[in-house]
Amino acid sequence: MKKNDVILQTVTKIVFFIILTFGVELFLSGHNNPGGGFIGGLVLSSAFVLLYLVYDIETVHRGTPFDFKRVAALGVLLAVGTGMFSLVFGEPFLSQKTWLVDLPVFGETELGTMTIFEAGVALTVLGVVVTIILGISEDVE
Amino acid sequence: MITVLLAIFIPFIAAGLVPFIHKFLTGSRIGWFVITIPLFLFALLIRLVPSLSEGASYLYTLPWIPSADVYFSTHLDGLSMIFALLITGIGSLVVLYSIYYLSEREAIGRFYTYLLLFMGAMLGVVLSDNLIVLYVFWELTSISSFLLIAFWYHRKQSRYGAKKSMLITVTGGIFMLVGFLMLYTITGTFNLQELVAMREVIAADSLFIPAMLLVLVGAFTKSAQFPFHIWLPDAMEAPTPVSAYLHSATMVKAGIYLVARFTPVFAGDTTWFFVVSCVGLLTMLWGSVNAVKQTDLKALLAFSTVSQLGMIMSLLGIGSLAFASSESTHIALFTAATFAALFHMINHSTFKGSLFMVVGILDHELGTRNIQRLGGLATIMPITFTIALIGSFSMAGLPPFNGFLSKELFFEATLSLKEANLLSMDSLVLLFPIVAWVGSIFTFIYCMIIVFQTFFGKVHAPVPGQRPAHEAPIQMLISPMVLGSLVVLIFIFPNLLGTYILGPAMNAVYPQFVGMPGLVPEIKVWHGWGMPIYMTIGVVITGVLLYCFLRYWKGIYSFGFLQWTLDRSYNALLQRVERVASVVTKTYMTGSVRDYVAYIMLFFIALVGIGLLGFQQFIFDFSNDAVIEINESIIIFVMMCSSVAILFAKSRITAIILNGVLGYSIAILFVVFRAPDLALTQIIVETVTTVLFLLCFYYLPEWRNEHKSISMRVRNGLIAVASGVVVTVIALLVQGHSLYPSISVYYETASRLAGGLNVVNTILGDFRAFDTMLEVLVLFIAGLGVYSLVKLRRKKGVDHPEEK
């Protein structure tokens, strides 16, 4: 069946980035407002899922040349790694720390190891969700 | 002392780097990168030897999970030092040997990754001071050795051997963990040093004997003691460098380490002495008797390792008697046994390591390890022959090699038992030297088999597939040559080893005898005429006679109890377990999701519902409840409608959409109750799962109205109603009870403690980060599972590699 979804594709090109921005925003604001790694990761993956729905798998692969299984693995490494990292400084496993840093554009900003940990969560969620959905859908072809 | 911590982590870091470096250092060159790690660690450790011999020890503690009493504490004392030096020293030689042994076509990167993992795990075992940390590393050695044994995984025998070794050692490790937990309930500490200090408290507890026996099961399985030794011969399917490393120098010695380490905790009780020394002696006898009948050189060495480990074990058992003695002369007699054990362990690593490498060379150059197809190699391979001669004669306990010294000490230790009259069982004590003597005769015989049947006699014509005999390249001979010269050097300067290496270790095993004269006996090359030397002469004479007439009496191996092997019972047990498991699985894995949901619901009803009935606390208190607003009731009404409607949906797509309605209504409810985090999560999860559902749509069969029997409908209806009732009752009961103070008070200070204003996220990322971390791991593993189930399904008509 020949599909004609020009409108969907055009809209997606813009919406994809809006969703990505929203995901990152959710992820970053998670420290003080609703959001966080899990939701951020889910939103990011929903952006990719949309992309895969609208375009075919090969086209998207050309645009995103990374393996989502590796993204998930990187996420797990980050999450476990921050836990291990605190050991190096003589703190108990998984201790988190925050600093207040004065950044040029953003002003006074909180930087913390929890953000790295949450990034690990987000990447794992993103990697796993996209891997599963791709795995099932590739099989259809 | 951060050095010790580094010693554990450097191999792990290097193991992680190997795959990346392998891209630049192709082929065997990666070995030159790997060899720097054990060499560096060896140098790092040897620098500390002088300070250790002056009585220092290095304790370094890092909090890991302080709330569970788990500290990442490392402790370097004399005992750990011996093992750490063996692991890194022999490790360097093994890596050097493997650079030339493994062909370029092998997966060399994978090999070195596993080897480094194993090295780090082994160092972790001997250097950690916390029992839980020790256990983690202990099981890691089992896993990494599993990977190493199954290195040639396309061979069925390799997979069988790897599985067997892992099953036996991991099971033993779990027993050991239970023992550790018992020790924790007695003392309230996981720290080895504190345990040693509290040995009186432990000895008085009723859990003392169970804890001791459980720890011993762990040690015996790892050190291949009877009847757990059956994994070791099968583990010989590994590449020879692995056998030389794991099965002579390191992994099998972990059990010895554990027994020596726990001697100050458990010794003093005669149970410890009897179990350790009897199992050790039995293993020694059994291993040596079985070694003689082997025709594969590597299998022969495997059984000889079993036997030698048994000998070391029995010495440690005898050494534990020092704790029960009161007279100082007796104490010195028995501490000498432990000294002999540690001394022989070092000797064993040198000569057995070199012998394994020699067998590897024979295999590599001739393509066979079968004794019946070897012969007359002494003139063709003179260097290999010399090394084999040194190694075997040392193992047989002949001068001028180091095995002679430790074997004399062994005889002396078994003889010293009758001096003890600590026990009223004199006849049993008399058996010890006899068994030791008989075991030594068989040891002598198989050592002669290695030397004479391989290197003397007539040269066999090469059969097809076998290369003509020639000497190995010199690079491959370096490692066994180093070990062989150590065998001789230790014989000449044994007391150097005694003072610097064994002395500090003795202090660690006998903390209360530190500084006692005679704790570190002086080893004499000639110890005068006495019972031990007569026994040795007897061994040589009987051994030579028996060896000469070997072909006449070898027939006895073919009948009687010697035919009975534990292997058979192991295989039968495994088969039965598999059969029962498959029968059980077939009955409940029906393949119908509906059945699985029914199981889950039934389990839930049984657990929670019956639990509720048991408590009989049905207090319903609605006085504190908030008023239900009209908009809330509307949402609830929508939810009820959609869930009931699902039951009557005529097509699958309707059901999915109705399910979505349900999910989004819950999200709205969260918004109404001011839980934005939950609402957000719910909306996004709902969206993603709906997409997933639509994808799965493709596979699902036609939606059809099934005509099911009335009894089936009634059953399903009952389950549905019952689970609904249970949930409702719980929800209503919760209002009437407040057993504990509210935990939300704790989180009022969350922003100060965790530096974040969003309580939900600080809980997820900080207060309960351990949960989150493990959840992420589970998610990852589940994702990989789904992926591989979907992608790597067996294609029809394609052979599966597992069945080859």
Quote the tokens at residue B125.
């075992």
Check whether the bond before B227 is cis (ω within 30° of 0).
yes
Ordered DSSP codes for B208-273 = HHHHHHHHHHHHHHHTT-TTGGGHHHHGGGS-HHHHHIIIIISTTHHHHHHHHHHHHHHTTSHHHH
Please report, for residues B140, B217, B232, B409, the alpha-carbon distance to residue B169 in angstroms, rounded to integers and kept in the order given.
11, 10, 10, 30
- The pLDDT, as a whole number, for residue B565 is 67
Q: What value of ipTM does the predicted structure carry?
A: 0.90
Contact check, Cβ <8 Å, A35/B680? yes
For testing contact with chain A, the best of B776, B790, B792, B794 (most A CBs within 10 A): B776
Q: Tell me the per-residue pLDDT of B557-592, one tens digit each, with 9 for 90 and over.
A: 766 555 556 777 788 888 898 899 889 888 888 877
For residue B72, give the 3-state DSSP assignment: strand
Considering only CA atoms, give the Rg of chain A: 18
Contact check, Cβ <8 Å, B64/A93? yes
* CA closest to B751 among chain A residues: A32
Say which DSSP state B512 is in.
G
Find where tokens 């070199």 sit. B354
User: Does residue B726 sit at the A interface (CB-CB below 8 Å)?
Assistant: no
CA distance B102 to B364: 9
Residue A1 above 50 pLDDT?
no
- The pLDDT, as a whole number, for residue B468 is 67
- The pLDDT, as a whole number, for residue A3 is 65
Say which DSSP state B459 is in.
P
- The pLDDT, as a whole number, for residue B226 is 81
Contact check, Cβ <8 Å, A35/B677? yes
User: Does residue A75 sit at the B interface (CB-CB below 8 Å)?
Assistant: yes
Name chain B contacts of A139, Cβ cutoff 8 Å.
790-791
- The pLDDT, as a whole number, for residue B421 is 62
Please tell me which residue, A130 or A101, carries the higher pLDDT value.
A130
How many of the other CB atoms lie within 10 Å of CB of B610?
A: 10
Candidate from A35, A80, A128 with C-beta closest to B773: A80
- Chain centroid to Cα B28, Å, comes to 29
Quote the tokens at residue B40.
């560096």
Candidate from B72, B688, B787 with C-beta closest to A131: B787
Mean pLDDT of the A62-89 span: 84
Which residues in chain B (669-708) have CB-CB distances under 8 A to chain A? 676-677, 680-681, 684-685, 687-688, 691-692, 695-696, 698
- What's the one-letter identity of residue B559? F
Q: What are the per-10-residue average pLDDT scores of chain B (804 residues)?
A: 79 86 77 88 88 82 80 87 90 88 80 90 90 92 90 86 89 93 89 86 86 92 85 83 79 89 85 88 88 85 90 89 77 85 90 89 81 78 88 87 87 79 66 88 89 79 63 84 89 84 85 77 77 85 85 70 67 87 86 84 89 76 78 91 87 85 91 86 85 74 70 87 89 76 76 72 80 90 87 60 48
User: Does residue B783 sit at the A interface (CB-CB below 8 Å)?
Assistant: yes
User: Does residue A37 sit at the B interface (CB-CB below 8 Å)?
Assistant: yes
Contact check, Cβ <8 Å, A121/B776? yes
Name chain B contacts of A80, Cβ cutoff 8 Å.
773, 777
Contact check, Cβ <8 Å, B692/A93? no
User: Quick check: B199 and B252 in contact, CB under 8 A?
Assistant: no
Which residues in chain A (85-104) have CB-CB distances under 8 A to chain B? 87, 90-94, 96, 98
For B396, phi then psi, to 5°, come to: -70, -15
Q: Is A141 exposed, middle or buried (0-12, 13-18, 19+ CB in 10 A)?
A: exposed
Residues in chain A: 141
Contact check, Cβ <8 Å, A34/B65? no
Name chain B contacts of A26, Cβ cutoff 8 Å.
680
